[in-house]
Amino acid sequence: MERETYIKQYGKYVFVYIIFLVGVIGHTTKPLFDPMVAITPYTLFIMGTFVLYHTVRKNGLPVILWMAGTYIVTFTLEAIGVHTGLVFGGYDYGEVLAPLLFGVPLIIGYNWVFVVLGAACIAQHYITRPLMFALITGLIAVLFDTILEPVAIQLGYWTWDTGYVPLQNYAAWFVISFAAAFVLKQFKVAFYTPVAIHYFIAQSLFFIALIVLL
């Protein structure tokens, strides 16, 4: 009984970390590297859907509407950014995260949702006032992107026209994450789920490990 209770309570978190541990092993083992990179968008989709299920199950319809809106807005901004360089700076996506629409991987907006959600769930532990909550969420999201960028560039997710990450990119990350988080609070959307926090942490540890090991 105790073992069953432990699995029911913590099994979903352990699952998240195991998946990303497998990802680290696959990316740092030469025979597994190519197939591991190839399944990246599918892994992100499966893991995002796993978090989506637990989030919606806990919080209901309003958070689905927020997620859908966040996906549409971030994907649109990415599409504008790719073609104009006005949002994040000049950059182009590779084929690693395919399929692409308007030059942007469909999975990108999906991952944006769960990065902001995870950052918001962490921020929720520290502050609830809308402006400060959104500020902390934005800063956490930017910190995530600073960890993500070197690995994403090395793995061919995207390339920057300048050859380096422009400050404009981090400013855009902050503004977008801040706005999405502010909407959560302003409209009193129930969103908190521990799975989102563990997904955010596991993904961050994954990129940190690859910075060290690749």
Residue partners of 54: CB distance under 8 A and separation at least 6? 12, 193, 195, 196
User: Given this model, what pLDDT does residue 112 score?
Assistant: 97
Give the number of C-alpha atoms closer than 13 A to the C-alpha of residue 186, restricted to the C-beta side: 9
Q: How far is CA 88 from CA 35, 84, 162, in A?
A: 30, 9, 12
Asked if the model's pLDDT at residue 1 lies above 60, the reply is: no
Asked if the model's pLDDT at residue 126 lies above 70, the reply is: yes
Section 54-60 average pLDDT: 94
User: Given this model, what pLDDT does residue 6 score?
Assistant: 59
Phi, psi (5° rounding) for residue 92? -140, 145
Asked if the model's pLDDT at residue 8 lies above 80, the reply is: no
Which domain does 157 fall in, by range? Answer: 2-213
Mean residue pLDDT of the chain comes to 95
User: Given this model, what pLDDT does residue 127 score?
Assistant: 87
The count of structural domains within the chain is 1
Q: How does pLDDT run across 162-205, given as a tens digit for each residue?
A: 999 999 999 999 999 999 999 999 999 999 999 999 999 999 99
User: Given this model, what pLDDT does residue 9 score?
Assistant: 75
**Pair 45, 199: CB distance under 8 Å:** no
**Pair 85, 159: CB distance under 8 Å:** no
Euclidean distance between CA atoms 166 and 180, whole angstroms = 22
Q: What is the pTM of this model?
A: 0.94
